[in-house]
Amino acid sequence: MTSITPAAREYFRAFYDHNRARFVAALVLTVLDIPSALIGSWLLGEIIDVISTGDLGRLQVLLAFGIVFTVVAFAISVGMYRAKSDFVCRALVNYKSLAFRRLSEKSIRAFSRENTGSYLSLLTNDVASIEEGYLKRSFILIYHVLLFVGTLAMMLFYSVPLTLAAVVLSLLPLVASVLMGRELTVRERAVSDRNEAFVSELRDLLAGFSVIKSLKAEAQARGLFDVASGTAEEAKRARYWWDCLITAVSSNLCSMVLQFGVFFIGAWLAIEGQITAGTVLIFVNLCNYLIQPINIVPQYWASRQAAAGLVKKLAAATRENAERAGEKIEPRLERGIEVSDVTFGYVPGEPVLRDVSLEFAAGRSYAVVGASGSGKSTLLNLLMGGYDGYEGSIAIDGHELRDVEAGSLYDLVSLIDQSVFLFDDTIRANVTMFRNFPDEAVDDAVRRAGLAELVAEKGADFRCGENGALLSGGERQRVSIARALLRRTPVLLVDEATAALDNQTARAVGEEILGLEGLTRVVVTHRLEASLLARYDEVVALRDGRVVERGTFDELMAARGYFYALFTVSG
């Protein structure tokens, strides 16, 4: 097994967090279950020897012992399975909880450039493999290793020569199984990667369902699905085939060689008078417990290693690009935000923003306009702390943005995006984001966001449907505004919030945002309506990543420059 990183070690420890008592109970009962198999073999041997002697008294004693033994063994077995199921359940809850906690600690920048399909696979398909391959099989491995040791000890007690013969006969299949188990680890990882790709493809196809239908691309979509599905299933077929091959080599070959060999050698020793017929039967029966560990341990150990690799894979994925630590600042804006000589590009050498210098004074409203690709949304992403690899400076009341702790920044800034995500839950839950707020605060946010009429009509407990499917576009945007108002952040960033709305709804939402007095509002918009733009304290016009004009609506219109041309074309 490769070295375990500190991040992966945290995930392995999570299996036992507040779960050690369940693990110990399952382990103890697993160990207690081992004598049941050995005692059963001994009992069969004793009965065969009693048959040869005709001792009825001894037979009655063995019968009574057998009844008690059966009841006790059954009780231990039931307790073992219950304890194991309790442990596995809690272990998986801990594991997935830690995974999502670490995922939620990622920065916006890191998460936005990653494939969410990989996380869906890591937390669904891979968790199932970890449950079977790592958690459950850990107990099976312990059971069979100890059973193997107990079987050897019992065999040695009865006959050293026959025991040595059994061990020698079992070595060859054991070596073959161990060598073949290495390939299984590679194939298990391939299954994880193919499942990840399939989930990603499926997510894209479902998200683009309406586009596929409108462009009559159903056949092409089915082709993409079939390729991704076929590749995933082929990887699983290759893993299953290798798993079966290991079983065939270690199980069938081992069974035939070991059982026939032990039986014939035992028969010869019995004829020689060195052991009894009962001892031969004990050995033949114990061969099953010698074969099972030889068959199972290499295969299950390989599966356990493969599953452990999936744990490491998740640890590596959630460890990368966690939110930065930094300076904590107060959740208030006194002077404003100053952008000085900022240059930024997503790809080195290809700047999206060039030498941008702006001032956003506290409590004032700003409209950022420009053609598509001019850098408007990129500017907002920088203000939201999404990227810190910019040149120049962005200062919030004198505090450099790249040095501010992410959580502290989010207490200061809220974002209303064009794409509003809603949970399939109530209006209230979507406004509060499942946090506890006083009813008065929630009601005030709902009223100021223009949701009062909707809540009065349908109730705060009305379920919004999957991603807000039961609400209109304007209603979804108002929920987003209410979220921001409820958090009472002093800065509100709005990125094309009205882009997907009809003109009437867009105007209403725009007026509601402008009516939020006391907040610093930076609004990126492509809708150039004079009645709205005239109400902003300043309009900033971007072109090819540069600030080409800034001023009030009237000033820019009078200047008859770039903004005037942009406004005229849009009208």
What CATH number does residue 395 fall under? 3.40.50.300
Any domain includes 391: yes
Per-residue pLDDT tens over the stretch 145-177:
999 899 899 989 988 998 888 888 777 666 766
Find, among 294, 367, 335, 297, the residue nearest to 529 by Cα: 367
- How large is the greatest C-alpha to C-alpha distance in the chain, in angstroms? 120
Task: Give the strand order in the sheet containing 399-400.
Answer: 353-361, 336-344, 391-396, 399-400
Any domain includes 357: yes
Q: Label residue 320 by pLDDT band (50, 70, 90).
A: low
Domain boundaries, position 415? 336-570
Boundary-marking domain end, from 282, 315, 348: 315
Boundary-marking domain end, from 285, 315, 345: 315
Specify the range with the lowest mean pLDDT, choosing from 357-366, 372-381, 444-453, 555-564: 444-453
> Does 391 lie in the same domain as 291?
no
pLDDT score, position 299: 74
CATH number, domain with residue 297: 1.20.1560.10
pLDDT score, position 1: 45
Average pLDDT over residues 420-432: 87
Q: Is 124 helix (H, G, I), strand (E, B) or coil?
A: coil
pLDDT score, position 235: 92
Any domain includes 33: yes
Any domain includes 428: yes
Tell me which DSSP letter residue 451 carries: -
> Does 344 lie in the same domain as 292?
no
Per-residue pLDDT tens over the stretch 357-382:
999 999 999 999 999 889 998 999 89
| Mean pLDDT for the chain overall | 86
pLDDT score, position 366: 96
Cα 351 from Cα 338, distance rounded (Å): 20
Average pLDDT over residues 268-291: 83
pLDDT score, position 411: 86
Boundary-marking domain end, from 281, 315, 349: 315
Residue 393, pLDDT above cutoff 90 = yes
> Does 93 lie in the same domain as 219?
yes
Average pLDDT over residues 469-489: 85
Find, among 70, 105, 82, the residue nearest to 29 by Cα: 82
Token code pair at residue 216: 């009559």
pLDDT score, position 172: 66
Residue 89, pLDDT above cutoff 90 = yes
Cα 188 from Cα 128, distance rounded (Å): 12
Any domain includes 469: yes
pLDDT score, position 336: 94
Any domain includes 262: yes
Residue 489, pLDDT above cutoff 60 = yes
- Residue linked to tokens 């910019």: 390
| DSSP class per residue in 237-283 | HHHHHHHHHHHIIIIIIHHHHHHHHHHHHHHHHHHTTSS-HHHHHHH
Specify the range with the lowest mean pLDDT, choosing from 213-222, 373-382, 385-394, 543-552: 213-222
List of residues 6+ apart from 364 with CB closer than 8 A: 336, 520, 521, 537, 538
pLDDT score, position 19: 95
Average pLDDT over residues 240-251: 79
Specify the range with the lowest mean pLDDT, choosing from 21-25, 305-309, 361-365: 305-309
> Does 367 lie in the same domain as 293?
no
> Does 358 lie in the same domain as 289?
no
> Does 303 lie in the same domain as 345?
no
Cα 23 from Cα 8, distance rounded (Å): 20
> Does 412 lie in the same domain as 275?
no
> Does 169 lie in the same domain as 27?
yes
> Does 301 lie in the same domain as 353?
no
Backbone angles phi, psi at 538, to 5 degrees: -155, 145
Residue 178, pLDDT above cutoff 80 = no
Q: How many domains does the chain have?
A: 2
Residue 354, pLDDT above cutoff 90 = yes
Which range of 239-243, 251-255, 364-368 scores highest in mean pLDDT? It is: 364-368
Q: What is the 3-state secondary structure (H, E, C) of 65-86?
A: HHHHHHHHHHHHHHHHHHHHHH
Q: Is 474 helix (H, G, I), strand (E, B) or coil?
A: helix
pLDDT score, position 488: 81
> Does 506 lie in the same domain as 388?
yes
Per-residue pLDDT tens over the stretch 113-123:
666 777 777 88
Any domain includes 197: yes
Per-residue pLDDT tens over the stretch 506-516:
788 788 888 88
Which range of 99-108, 306-315, 336-345, 379-388 scores highest in mean pLDDT? It is: 336-345
The 3-state DSSP composition of the chain as helix, strand, coil percent (nearest 5) reads 65, 10, 20
> Does 340 lie in the same domain as 308?
no
Cα 513 from Cα 507, distance rounded (Å): 10
Which pTM value belongs to this model? 0.66
Is the Cβ–Cβ distance between 401 and 409 less than 8 Å? Answer: yes
pLDDT score, position 75: 94
> Does 342 lie in the same domain as 304?
no
Any domain includes 328: no
Specify the range with the lowest mean pLDDT, choosing from 184-188, 243-247, 441-445, 500-504: 500-504
Average pLDDT over residues 78-93: 94
List of residues 6+ apart from 260 with CB closer than 8 A: none
Q: What is the 3-state secondary structure (H, E, C) of 520-534?
A: EEEEECCCCCHHHHC
